[in-house]
Amino acid sequence: MAETPPLLEVVDVVKEYGESVRTAALRGVSLTLHAGEMAALIGPSGSGKSTLLHLIGLLDRPTAGSLRLNGQDPTTLSEPALAALRGRSLGFVFQFHHLLPAFTALENVMLPAFGDEGRLSAETRARATALLTAVGLEEKLHARANQLSGGQKQRVAIARALSRNPPLVLADEPTGNLDTVASHEVFELMRRFHRERGVTFLVVTHDPRIADRCDRVIEIVDGRIARDERR
Amino acid sequence: MRFVLFVAFRYLRDARGQTALILAAVSVGVAVIVFLSALINGLQSSLIDKTLGSQSHITLRVPRETPRPLVDATPERAIARQVQVAPERLRSIDQWPAVVASLARLEGVTAVSPMVTGAGTAVRGEAKRPITVRGIEPELFRRIIDVPRRMVAGRFDPGGGSVAIGSVLAADLGVGLGDTVRIVTAEGVSDVVRISGVFSLGNMGVDKTWVLTSLRHAQSLFALAGGVTGLELKVGDVFEADAVADEAQRRTGLAAESWMRVNAELLVGLSAQSSSKTMIQFFVVVAVALGIASVLIVSVVQKSREIGILRAFGTPARRILAIFLTEGAVLGLVGSFFGSALGTLLARFFETVARNPDGGPKFPVVLDVPLYVSASLLATVVGLAAAVAPALRASRLDPATAIGNG
Ligand SMILES: Nc1ncnc2c1ncn2[C@@H]1O[C@H](COP(=O)(O)OP(=O)(O)OP(=O)(O)O)[C@@H](O)[C@H]1O
Ligand SMILES: [Mg+2]
């Protein structure tokens, strides 16, 4: 594993919030993620999991420290270049599905490529249809996002996260809002994409059963990495 | 399909109630603008038409002789200036055919007509009326004032001992077609003419005094063989009349008077009316812009999380900006279609309700293509402008904050 350059490299990252009263959400986090890993990020509420995910996701910039994604240093990039890099290298799944309610399942999955390219290509449509079929929603392609069940929505969200074939998918409590059965289904889906397509996942979770089934568990406490175990 | 259009239309369609309400507001605003413009433009052009229906755009005459002292003052001898205005005497324009030719070449002039005008009296039995005799070339004069279209009886073919007279004058004298009248001019010449036509130009002063005859006949009535007392001009753009008059005066040395100077008060009234129209339109535009802006602001706030999601997945900020600008422009444009239709209905309805006793519309409305085009353009630009602030706000949303924690 040491030979392949890491997919993600986080070195001594610090993130502080607030202007006058500064609260440190991350107090020096270093982390390396290789292609093909499926890692769980766990830790108590307020420990800084979402903050770390936002930084890795290029949605926010660190106060100090450095970050490399696919060998690229995002701190040197302009906002449009950052948006483009984000669109092509990262997929997001959130605790709340965050689908766009005015659009159908298929449209939601097509939107990332559509929005970046400006025009809808046949390839985008074909890929979105295939992904929705892969997550078992071929019947619901044209259903409005807000007419789907919670588990179905989250499956659409996973299809959307994978729609541009990103090397890394960041998931922030993807099952946090689902019951046990749906939660199991959604996680199994991610595992399948990991196994079958080699997608790298970093999954924030509070659910120990989910963490147990990842190849790696990273625990963060009070803005610092407290444990990092591979199994 | 373009992403920006796709998302903008979907958002508009999805927020059906909001979209319908703001479209209604834009439509009413545009309808007010269209209706008001149609009415005021119609009113103004009919007032101008009426005014110009009985007078030329520009009239050129021999300038009054400036009274000159018989002896000039010297340092030793002051004189009390004694001014005796020479009695008005009809004088002909020197070399008038050459002047006509040069005026016809003047930029903006579309017709030139020579005339001999003088005062006189019409006598018929016991009845005696003061008149203005106008000698003209019918074919040239009809291009200055469209008399043939305003005939109430007979035909417009003065000459050979026949004349056309105003309808009020005809009534005053108690004469009709084929009757004869004696004309006595201020020069002491008298002649008997036959009435071959009666016209009504809609101007009391004109219809009560005018006797139109041939140029040659008038020349003999006023002892001005071969001469003319004035030239009348028509111009392409009636509001250029002042400028053309100045140029004509400069070139010919004659005294030129445009209809605009003669009707200065009317023009002041019209321009006051135009400014009040502009004011009303301005406030309507402001109200429409505020309406569109507030709907879009609410929409941006409601959708901030969705916008954050689109941004997180790689949609560039400029496309987010374009989505909301498009929404604003579409609201303006579509609203302007409905508004134009509504304004047209209103104007037509008003036209049928407000009628003169003769059945003609009291308020003629002018609904033309430029009005619709400018209303649509205005509404679209206003929609676009109103969307600028909300769209900027949307495009500057920070994706991490917009998505929120969780
Ligand atoms: N935008 C923000 N502004 C100010 N403080 C913030 C912001 N986001 C997070 N924080 C603070 O940073 C710390 C870490 O928050 P974070 O959301 O990363 O926790 P978390 O581990 O995801 O918690 P949870 O499990 O509850 O989601 C918390 O103390 C939080 O209050
Ligand atoms: Mg969190």
Hey, is the C-beta of A118 within 8 angstroms of any chain B C-beta? yes
Of B313, B399, B406, the CB nearest to A96: B406
pLDDT given at position B82? 56
pLDDT given at position B33? 87
More confident residue, A79 or B10: B10
pLDDT at A2 exceeding the cut of 60 = no
pLDDT given at position B10? 92
CA distance A180 to chain B (A): 19
Closest by alpha carbon to A55, among A229, A223, A212, A218?
A223
Contact A83 B314 (CB under 8 A): yes
Contact B4 A94 (CB under 8 A): no
pLDDT given at position B170? 94
3 state DSSP class of A58: coil
Residues of A in contact with B14 (CB under 8 A): 101-102
Contact A114 B11 (CB under 8 A): no
Hey, is the C-beta of A18 within 8 angstroms of any chain B C-beta? no
pTM, two decimals, is 0.75
**Residue having the nearest C-alpha atom to atom 24 of ligand 1:** A45
Closest by alpha carbon to A136, among A122, A120, A149, A123?
A149
pLDDT category, B400, cuts 50, 70, 90? confident
Residues of B in contact with A164 (CB under 8 A): 313-314
pLDDT category, B80, cuts 50, 70, 90? low
pLDDT given at position B310? 87
B254-299 pLDDT per residue, tens:
899 998 888 888 888 888 888 888 888 888 888 888 888 888 888 8
How far, in Å, is the centroid of ligand 2 from the Cα of A194?
23
Residues of A in contact with B302 (CB under 8 A): none
- Ligand 1 pocket test, pick from A16, A23, A94 with the greatest ligand atom count within 8 Å of Cβ, gives A23
A14-73 pLDDT per residue, tens:
899 888 888 888 898 999 998 888 999 999 998 999 899 989 988 888 898 889 888 888
B336-371 pLDDT per residue, tens:
999 999 999 988 888 888 777 776 676 678 888 888
Complex-level ipTM: 0.85
**Rounded-to-integer distance, Cα B54 and Cα A92, Å:** 80
A101-160 pLDDT per residue, tens:
999 999 999 999 998 888 989 999 999 999 899 888 888 889 998 888 888 898 899 899
**Rounded mean pLDDT of chain B?**
87
SS3 content of chain B, % helix, strand, coil (to 5): 55, 20, 25
Residue B314 backbone zone (phi > 0: left; psi -120 to 50: alpha; other: beta): left
Average pLDDT over residues B205-216: 94
Hey, is the C-beta of B17 within 8 angstroms of any chain A C-beta? no
In the block, residue with structure tokens 């906002």: A79
In DSSP notation, B261-298 reads HHTHHHHHHHHHHHHHHHHHHHHHHHHHHHHHHHHHHH
CA distance A12 to chain B (A): 21
To test the contact with chain B by mutation, choose from A45, A58, A59 the residue with the greatest count of B C-beta atoms within 10 A, namely: A59
To test the contact with chain A by mutation, choose from B6, B13, B313 the residue with the greatest count of A C-beta atoms within 10 A, namely: B313
3 state DSSP class of A222: coil
Kind and range of the H or E element at A10?
strand A8-17
**Beta bridge partners of residue A41, listed in sequence order:** A204, A218
3 state DSSP class of B397: coil
How far, in Å, is the centroid of ligand 2 from the Cα of A98?
15
Give the percent of chain A with pLDDT over 70: 99
Q: Which residues line ligand 1 (CB under 6 A)?
A: A 17-18, 23, 25, 43, 45-51; B 405-406
**Rounded-to-integer distance, Cα A104 and Cα A231, Å:** 40
Determine the length of chain B. Answer: 406
Contact A94 B313 (CB under 8 A): no
* A188, amino acid identity: E
B228-257 pLDDT per residue, tens:
999 999 998 888 898 999 999 998 888 999
Tokens of B261: 């100077």
Hey, is the C-beta of A82 within 8 angstroms of any chain B C-beta? no
How far, in Å, is the centroid of ligand 1 from the Cα of A85?
25
Residue B359 backbone zone (phi > 0: left; psi -120 to 50: alpha; other: beta): left
B117-171 pLDDT per residue, tens:
999 999 998 889 999 999 999 999 999 999 999 899 999 989 888 999 999 999 9
- Ligand 1 pocket test, pick from A17, A95, A172 with the greatest ligand atom count within 8 Å of Cβ, gives A17
How far, in Å, is the centroid of ligand 2 from the Cα of B406?
5
Hey, is the C-beta of B217 within 8 angstroms of any chain A C-beta? no
Residues of A in contact with B315 (CB under 8 A): 83, 87, 111-112, 115-116
**Beta bridge partners of residue A29, listed in sequence order:** A13
Kind and range of the H or E element at B140?
helix B138-144
pLDDT given at position A35? 87
Kind and range of the H or E element at A54?
helix A49-56
Residues of B in contact with A78 (CB under 8 A): none
Query: How far is residue B127 from each of residues B120, B130, B170, B172, measured CA to CA in Å?
Result: 14, 10, 11, 8
Closest by alpha carbon to A174, among A198, A195, A193?
A193
pLDDT given at position A60? 85
To test the contact with chain B by mutation, choose from A45, A86, A173 the residue with the greatest count of B C-beta atoms within 10 A, namely: A86
**Rounded-to-integer distance, Cα B113 and Cα B311, Å:** 73
* B273, amino acid identity: Q
pLDDT given at position A3? 59
Hey, is the C-beta of B309 within 8 angstroms of any chain A C-beta? yes
Query: How far is residue A144 from each of residues A95, A104, A153, A182, B6, measured CA to CA in Å?
Result: 19, 4, 10, 20, 16
3 state DSSP class of B144: helix
3 state DSSP class of A7: coil
pLDDT given at position B81? 60
More confident residue, B309 or B65: B309
pLDDT at A1 exceeding the cut of 70 = no
**Residue having the nearest C-alpha atom to atom 29 of ligand 1:** A46
B47-68 pLDDT per residue, tens:
888 888 888 999 999 887 665 6
pLDDT given at position B406? 41
Lowest model confidence (mean pLDDT) among A52-56, B23-27, B324-328, B354-358: B354-358
Q: Looking at residue B2, what DSSP letter applies? A: B
**Residue having the nearest C-alpha atom to atom 27 of ligand 1:** A45
How far, in Å, is the centroid of ligand 2 from the Cα of A172?
7
Hey, is the C-beta of A100 within 8 angstroms of any chain B C-beta? yes
pLDDT category, A201, cuts 50, 70, 90? very high
How far, in Å, is the centroid of ligand 2 from the Cα of A8?
20
CA atoms within 13 A on the CB side of B173: 29
- Strands B127-136 and B109-124, by their bridges, are antiparallel
pLDDT at A179 exceeding the cut of 90 = no
**Beta bridge partners of residue B182, listed in sequence order:** B123, B192
Tokens of A138: 């071929």
Average pLDDT over residues B15-38: 88
pLDDT given at position B405? 52
**Rounded-to-integer distance, Cα B134 and Cα B56, Å:** 13
pLDDT given at position A137? 87
In DSSP notation, A105-144 reads HHHHHHHHHHHHHSB--HHHHHHHHHHHHHTT-GGGTTSB
Tokens of A14: 């610090």
Contact B313 A80 (CB under 8 A): no
CA distance A184 to chain B (A): 19
Instruction: Give residues whose Cβ lies within 5 Å of ion ligand 2.
Output: A 50
